Each structure stands twice: as C-alpha cells, then as structure tokens.
Structure 1
Amino acid sequence: MTTRVQARDLAFLAEETPSTPRHNATVEVFEPGASGFDHEQLLALIEDRISFVPRYRQRLQAVPGRLANPVWIDDPDFDLGYHVRRSALPRPGTPEQLRELVARIVSRPLDRSKPLWEVYVVEGLADGRVALLYKAHQALVDGVDTVDLAQVLLDTSPEPKLLGGDDWDAWKRPSVPSLVAGAVRDNLTRPDVLGQTLRSTSAALVRGADAAGERAGQVLGALTGRGGERETPISGRHSQQRRVVSVHTTLADHQRIRDGHGGTVNDVVLATVSGGLRAWLMTRSESMAGLRRVRAVVPVSVIDSELEATSLGSQIAAHVVDLPVGEPSAVVRLHQVSYSFQSHAETGRGVAANRLAGIAGFAPSTFHAIGSRVAAWEAGRGAQLIVTNVPGPQSPLYAAGARMVETYPVPPLLPGHLLAIGVTSYDGQVSYGITADRDKVPDADVLGQCLAEALDELLDTVSGVRPRAPRGRRKKSVKR
C-alpha cells in the first residue's frame, strides 16, 4: 500500500541539509522496576506496538521524472534492530555526559533510504537509570496519520500491557511503470495532487536558483572581503554540530508565580525565557540596542475548523510574540508577555493546558513534533527563535514497567537559527530543553543557568503578593 507525500512534508525533506537536519528528538529517563529495563525489553515493546504507527515501517520512494510527489511504501527490508540502537555512558553516567551523547546523535541526519526514525537505549546512567532518545523526521510525525512512537509505548500503570503484536508482511514494492501510472492517474483525477506536483516542481526550481545565488554571493564575499548576512548571538549560519542543555524546575514554582501575578503558566515560561536570554546576552557583553526584543514563534493549541485536525483533539496554530529581553524588570517582562497572549485567549479558540494533559495516553513528544512543523511554516515571518511549550501529564508514565522520571525535548534548529527551546511539564516538573549550534553558541550551558536564575528572579517577586486570578478564570475559583 502506498500513500503520496504531502507538499508540506516534502518541503521538510527538500529543505534539509547536512547542517540543518529536520528531525525532532526527545529524551526520556527511566527508573527500572523490579524486572529491569534494557534494550531487549524495549525491542519487544516496540515490536508489540509498532502496528499503531504503520508509517514507522515505511520509507520514501521517488516517482520517476518527478511526475508527482514521492510516496510512502512499506520497507521490504525493515529491520527493527537497525532502528532501535544500544549505547552506554562511561562512569559516572552524569546528565552532562548524557546530553553530550544526545548532541552528537541529533547532529546526524537520518538515512533517507530507510524509515525516518531511530531510538537509542542509553545505559550506564547513575543510579542504574536508563535513557531513551527518540529521533524522528519532521515529515514522519504529523499528528494526523502518524503520532510519535513514544505515544504508543508509554502506559499509565507499571503493569506492561502486551498486545500480541501483529503478523506484518510488507506490501510488494511498486514497479517503475506502476509509479508512473499512479502519478499520471492522480494528476488527472485529483486536482489537489496536480497542484502539489506543480508547487513542488516550482519550489525545487526556486531552491536551485536560491542555492546558486547563495554560492555566488559567498564567492563574491570571499573575493571582496564583504558579504554575508549580519549575525547576532541567536541567528546566523550554523555548523553541522549541536549542543544540548536541559534545565529542570518544578511546576509548583511556575504556578506560584502565575497565582501571584495572574496570567498562565505559559506566560511564566516565556517570561523565564525572556529573562534568561537577557541575562545570557549580558554575560556576553552584548549591546541590547539591536536585540531589545526577540521575535519568537510559539505554537499553541486551538480549536479551529479551518485548520488541519490532529489526533490530539485540537489544531495547532502559530502565535508570534516579541520577547522583551531589553526590559530590566522581571514583573514587567511577565506582564508584557501575558498581554501578548491576552487577545489569543479572548478569541475562545485556545485549548486549556489541563485538557491537553488529560488526553488518555498523551505524550508531549507528539505535540512538540506538530509544534515544530507549524513553527517552521511560520519562520518566514521574521522569527528569530522557536519556543514550544507542551503541558504533559501530571501523573507517572511507564514503559515496560519502568517509571519515567524525567523527559525533555531536543527541538531542531531552523535555517538561520542558532537556538531553539522546547519546554515540557510532566509529573510536577517543568523541563527546558535547549538546542544550540556547537560552534556559534559554545556557552549554551550558561544560557541554561540564566534560565534557572530568571525563574528564581520571578519567584522573588511573589513574596507577600496576594494571589491573582489566572487568565481565563474567575477569582472565586482560585485556591488560596
């Protein structure tokens, strides 16, 4: 069985370069139960449940002559052992060592000749813990036809629920004549396919012209000693290598700030990011004149009949907010961010965080994947940064009986972006995941420290402050 690749998915594939791999990643850390948790157990779990995400056993197949977009076909040589890999940290197995390994793995593009995903089982963490690193291409997980693999592996109880797997046999690989015939048929009978084919062909020509122009500009710049776009600490041409930083805080601290100043936890997160960026820029002795505001794309969950529905029960839309990094007052930064989202809340389209987190089997990694897709489409609006904030479940989740004790996202860098930030709340924690270019942002760990200090700065402002009603709630509903 074949399915034609949508135009938007094809764009993610076409725009990918060695220095801008277009995959999302998520790190999960587990506390093994009495039966342990290792590579073999994960293999058995994935084999048991991969039928819920059939695209994880499919690969891309091009159509001769670009008569239509490529198709997804069953991989006749699918090898689960290739995709589920085993690794280990040297002693003492610190979080820093884990992040260094994650950074090296996410720097490598996925193999286009195989299904576009990998999972790494990382052993050797301190206290006997085990980490999983999920890595899936943006074209693979769309939240409609395909959710993230983590969503079908996690359970709400420690008792593993084996479903028996399936007797899967790959469909026969389509021949060249059948691919051509299918492309011609779809172009003649389906106007949407013809339109996508024309747009894809035109886009390929434009990209080729842009690439040629960029190479010519580079040569001219090298000859004249000029050229190249002006770089900033958060934007510029990046290398092929990444740095990964994680910052772990508590949801209670964010809620305390929200209750003291009003707004939402999302406002607190973005105010923390604003304060962290400000402090980080100041450690670099950067002038704030050119970066008084950082334009960020923040995907939000909405209900909108005009947008593509997702399996999460809502749609995802991009909200553009100017983060006030030039503002010295932490409280003013919070109120400015809150005001930016006030109009969004008043439309009635917004989906409450607790509703998302309450979806049965909800895994934040799927939302991060959709959010990064939406943000990538909107990046052309002058955005300098992408921040995905996902409310996760506030009760423990398990994989093969092992309890997940920590999770954080590793968002991809878009062309021209030197930083990306993803935020996930889970079981009383709020974890910030930072992806940075290894060469241009060697002090990414300092940014992580600045984020933690920015949250502390906000906490210091709520001592003795009377709780205010969170946005969208009446005051009488606030617990004092």
Structure 2
Amino acid sequence: MVIGMSDRLGPRDVAYLDGESLSVPHQVASIELIEPKEGFDYGAFAEHVEDRLAFVPRYRQRVRMVPGRIAYPVWADDDRFDLTYHVRRSALPRPGSMDQLLDLAGRIVSRPLDRSRPLWELYVIEGLEGGRVALVTKTHQALVDGAETVDLVQLLLDDKPEVGPTVPDLWEPQPESGARLLAGAVVDAVTSVRGLTGAARSMGGFALGRATGVAKDIQSAGIGVAQALTRRPPERPTPLSGALSQQRRVVTLQADLSDFRRIRDTHGGTVNDVILAVVTGGLRSWLMTRQESLAGVRQVPALVPVSVIDEELDATQLGSAVAPHFVVLPVAEPSPVVRLHQVSYSFEQHKETARTVSAQQLAGISGFAPATFHVIGSRVAAESEHDYLLSVCNVPGPQEPRYAAGSRLVASYPIHPLAEGHSLAIGVTSYDGQVFFAITADRDLVPDASLVGQCLSEAIDELLDTASGRRFRAPRGLRVVKNSGE
C-alpha cells in the first residue's frame, strides 16, 4: 500500500514540528483528577486506553521523514508501538498534595515529546490525598486537528460510570520502507498540489516556478504559521514577555461556577466576560505586587480563541470551529465592574460580526470536547500574527459528571503551551458546577507564579462583593450587555 494524501502532514503541521525547540515545545497538556469508587485498578485503566485507541489510529502512528526530504513527512504506523511507554505509572508520597502534583506536572510539560514515537504521553499518578488519581496528558499540537483526530481525554471519558462499548481492535502495523515512502511521495507529487509544493521547496525551488497559484497559497500558509511560531519578543520587555527558559511552572485555581453566574446576572454579559474580567483584575493585582508601574502597563492585549460556527456542531467540525478574538484587558482600571463592562463591550462587538457557538452547544458535544477545543485554541493562538501578550482560552464543558473507566472526573485543568516570547498562558474549563483555571508560566520569567493564582482568586472575590443583586448603572459611554448565555 502506498501512502496516500490523507496520511501526509500538511504545511501547518510541518511548521509545528520544524518550529519546535527545547525552550518552546509545541504540546498541550492537561491534569484530570479522577475519583475511583473502590481503589484504582491500573491494569483495567490501561486496557481502557488501549480499547479507545481503536477509534483513532493516529495515536499509534509516528512521523516518518521521506528519504531525501523530497516531500512532506507522513503519518506511518509505529511497528514497535508500546502502550506501556505512552501510559506511564507514577506515584506521589502518600498523601500527595496538590502542590506536589503541580510540581511534577510542571516538569512533565517542560520536556518535549520523543519524535521517534507517536506524539502523546499519559501519566497515571497515584498517591494523592483522598484516594484520587491524576491523569497528566501531553499531546503534540501537530497531532490533534479536531477532525480526524481528537484529544485523548475526549476519547477516554464517558457520560456514565459503565464503560461504553468498544470496537474490535483489528489494528496491525503496516510496514513502510524507504522505497514505499519514496513511491508515495512520487504519486503525491504528480497528483497532489500539496506534494508538488513540498517537492518544490525541498528541491531548492527548481520546480517552484511551475507550481500553480494554488500551490503557492498552500505553501505560504505553512510559511505564515512558521513565522508566527518564531515571532520575536517585544522590543520593550514586560512582565508578560521575555526569552523563555526550558522549564515551566503550573498553577491551578478552582472556583464555583455559580459565583460567575451570580456576577453575570448582576452586571450582564456572559460567564466568559466574567472570566476575562477576573483575569484582568488578577493581572492588575499581580503587577502591583511586583511594584510594576501601571503607567507603563496600562493595557494587556490578549488573544482569546472563540467558537465561530453557529450550526449544529459535532466532533468532526472542531478543527474549523475556533477563531481568534483580540481584546484589550484594562489592567489600569481600578473599578472591577468597569473592567467587566469594557470586556463585555468588546465581545458584544465581536458577536455582531461573527457567528458564535453557545456554551450549551459546546457542552453538548460527545465525550469531553473541551480537551480537543483547548488544543485547537492553542493552535489558533500560536498561528496568530497579531501582537498580543497573553492568550486566555476558556471552553465551557458539560455540567454533568464524566467518567474514565468507571472513575468519576472531579477536576480538569487545561495546560496551554507558551508561545515564543510569552511568559504566561491561561486555560479555563467549566465542568460539573466548577470553573478550573490552569496558569502556565515560565519558571525563570515568573518565579512568583503561585501569586498569579492567588491574585485571580482575590479578583473573583472582588467581583462577588459587587454582585449585591441590584443592577449596576454603567458609566456614560458603556453599554450593559444583556445576558446571552455563558
């Protein structure tokens, strides 16, 4: 069998691989806390993972380079696939604390994935207090496209404690020799614009002049992504920018979704607006604790990936359902309510020009779609050529429990990667009545990362203090946005 077009990496995915470095690994991670009913059976959980891999063959494929690099690489079956390499068992000294787990997670997400194997890992960490178990996942941004491949966490979670039906696993690795890879490249070069473009670039431009205009557009898309991934830090350093180290810190925060809804119901807007107002207030307090002059950092340009398809959404559309929205976070504004209304106004303007998906639609997608949306959101942030200092990705999740091999999911923290020159990134997921924040920070640039989480918590309390039940009268020039869901 010759490798077909569907198995060849596109220019965007190649850009993620080529633009990766030790200080900027292109991978998205998460921490899922599960609560087993009667002890945790690691063997049964590993079998559960293996069963679900049958649904998405890509998790047993690795990137193979074509000899001579005459075409883009291909996804090829890993003939030495070893589940025990990818599903790793670990433990904390009992009773393990959340701080110990986060320290371990920070070290896990700092290490790039092994390119010679399928580009994902799952760490099963036992020993947590209360008998809980942590699942720390790590997936390369080139692996998950939201169409053919969804995030592993979405595959593993069910809406019932009983494990759902499995499909017969008939997978057998198809060996791919160098000769077969070359043959596939020749076929694609003749029949595919993508193959023609890849061959032209690899041959030093010899055939580039003969490529069609469409081919040039496809090639330029890959170049645009590559340029975005290697953007330079701002010339004037800020607390949110700088040259990245090879180490990360992870800070998490959990809050009641009802508190965010209370603030929304009092002041208008959406839960997403409230979350961004909390981030704004938290950044303001953090900058002040660092004795930063707010005259120098009055606004923080932020990129917020949002869902933009308003028709019925399913798992096959996730890859094209997210687009960037840019908002200026007014960190110099002392009033928490004014900050909220300024953020709300920005999103109201966006809703008038784009089709958006409601929180209810997102929460209704099968499995645990926030996991996949966070990967897609991280790709949107990485590919943006717009100047911003912070990415904040909030994905509403289901408000009913989910289960992994019978164990109840009790917390989900999305860990976003840091783009070149960015010292912080924030992922947010609402699930089962709670809101979960995960802050990714460069270990050297933000040594006080835990303080960022504390400041966000205080920003929630600050907004709650204003939610007295009577509507706030917006200052002249600002509109109170009507409640439009979450």
- Deviations along 1:87-145, whole A, 9 cap, x unmatched? 11113311111100100000000000000000000000001111101110000011111
Structure 2 equivalent of residue 222 of structure 1? none
* Cα displacement (A) at 1:229: 4.2
| 1:28 is aligned to 2:42 | no
CA distance 1:49–1:266, change in 2 (3 Å) = same
Q: Secondary structure at the match of 1:152?
A: helix
* Pair 1:13-2:20 in alignment: no
Residue 23 of structure 2 aligns to a residue whose secondary structure is: coil
Q: Read off the aligned partner of 1:144 and give its amino acid letter.
A: A
Counterpart of 2:428 in structure 1 is 423
Q: Show structure 2 runs of 5+ residues with no match.
A: 205-218, 474-478
- Aligned-pair distance for 1:48? 1.1
Deviations 1:230-278 (A, max 9, x none): 4211101011000000000011011111111111111000010011001
Residue 199 and residue 144 in structure 1: after superposition, are their counterparts in 2 closer, same or farther (change >3 A)?
Answer: farther
Letter in 2 for 1:293: Q
Q: How many residues in Structure 1 have an aligned counterpart in Structure 2?
A: 458
Q: Which moved more, 1:395-404 or 1:463-472?
A: 463-472
Residue 132 of structure 2 is aligned to residue 132 of structure 1 = no
Determine the structure 1 residue equivalent to 2:332: 326
Q: How does 1:287-436 map to 2 (within 5 A)?
A: 287-303=293-309, 310-312=316-318, 315-347=321-353, 349-378=355-384, 380-436=385-441
Taking structure 1 as reference, are residues 470 and 122 closer, same or farther at Cα in structure 2, changes over 3 Å only?
Answer: farther
In 2, the alpha carbon distance for the partners of 1:454 and 1:390 equals 20
* Aligned residue runs from structure 1 range 6-405, under 5 A: 6-34=10-38, 36-163=39-166, 165-173=168-176, 175-195=177-197, 198=200, 229-303=235-309, 310-312=316-318, 315-347=321-353, 349-378=355-384, 380-405=385-410
Instruction: Indicate the SS of the match to 1:139.
Output: coil
Shift of 1:348: 5.4
Identity in percent: 59
What are the Cα deviations for residues 63-97 of structure 1, in whole angstroms up to 9, with x where unaligned?
A: 12221110000000001011000111113311111
Q: Say which SS state the counterpart of residue 95 (structure 2) adopts.
A: coil
Residues 1:10 and 1:209: Cα distance change in structure 2 (over 3 Å): closer
Cα distance, 1:209–1:327 mapped onto 2, change above 3 Å: closer
Contact 1:85 1:119 in 2 (8 A): yes
Q: Shift of the alpha carbon at 1:313?
A: 9.0
Unaligned runs of 5+ in 1: 215-226
Aligned-residue offset at 1:208: 11
Return the letter of the residue paired with 2:246: Q
Contact 1:314 1:351 in 2 (8 A): no
Measure, in 2, the Cα distance between the counterparts of 1:464 and 1:120.
Answer: 45
1:205 to 1:375, Cα distance in 2 relative to 1, 3 A: closer
Partner of 2:212: none
1:441 aligns with 2:446: yes
SS of aligned partner of 2:96: coil
Q: Distance in 2 between matches of 1:155 and 1:446?
A: 35
Q: Deviations over 1:357-411 (max 9, x none)?
A: 0122233111100110111111x21111111100000000001111111111111
Cα contact 1:300–1:319 (8 A) shared by 2: yes
Render the CA deviation track for 1:315-341: whole Å, top value 9, x for unaligned: 111101111111111111111111111
Amino acid of the structure 2 residue aligned with 1:51: A
1:37 and 1:400 in contact (8 A); partners too: no
- Residue 315 of structure 2 contacts residue 366 of structure 2 at CA under 8 Å; is this kept in 1? no
The root-mean-square deviation of aligned C-alpha atoms, in Å, is: 2.9
CA contact (8 A) 1:20 1:240 kept: yes
1:258 and 1:470 in contact (8 A); partners too: no
Query: For structure 1, which segment, 388-397 or 154-163, has the greater mean C-alpha deviation from structure 2 after superposition?
Result: 154-163
TM-superposed deviation, 1:304: 7.7
Tell me the SS of whatever aligns to 1:423: strand
User: How many angstroms apart in 1 are the aligned matches of 2:310 and 2:360?
Assistant: 19
* In structure 1, distance between residues paired with 2:403 and 2:114: 30
Q: How does 1:451-470 map onto structure 2 within 5 Å?
A: 451-466=456-471
Deviation at 1:473, TM superposition (A): 5.2
- The answer as to whether partners of 1:25 and 1:409 remain within 8 angstroms in 2 is yes
Question: Structure 2 CA distance, aligned partners of 1:210 and 1:135?
Answer: 22
SS at match of 2:72: coil
State the shift of 1:435 in Å: 0.4
Q: Which amino acid aligns with 1:260?
A: T
For residues 272 and 85 of structure 1, the distance between their equivalents in structure 2, rounded to whole angstroms, comes to 36
Change in CA separation of 1:348 and 1:207 when aligned onto 2, cut-off 3 Å: closer
**Separation of aligned partners in 2, 1:48 and 1:448:** 37
Q: In the TM superposition, what is the alpha-carbon distance from 1:344 to its structure 2 partner?
A: 1.7
**How many angstroms apart in 1 are the aligned matches of 2:69 and 2:371?**
33
TM-score by length of 1: 0.89
- Post-superposition shift, 1:186? 1.4
Q: Which amino acid aligns with 1:18?
A: L
Please state whether the residue corresponding to 1:434 is helix, strand or coil. Answer: strand
SS at match of 1:393: coil
Q: Which moved more, 1:117-126 or 1:345-354?
A: 345-354
- How far apart, in 1, do the equivalents of 2:278 and 2:199 lie? 44
Distance across 1 between alignment mates of 2:167 and 2:224? 49
1:47 Cα deviation from its structure 2 partner: 1.2
> CA–CA distance in 2 between the matches of 1:33 and 1:435?
31
Give how far 1:439 is off.
1.1
1:217 is aligned to none
> How far does the alpha carbon of each residue in 1:400-442 deviate from its partner, in whole angstroms, 9 at most, with x for none?
1111111111111111011000000000000110000111111
Stretch deviating more after TM superposition (343-352 or 319-328): 343-352
Corresponding position of 1:220: none
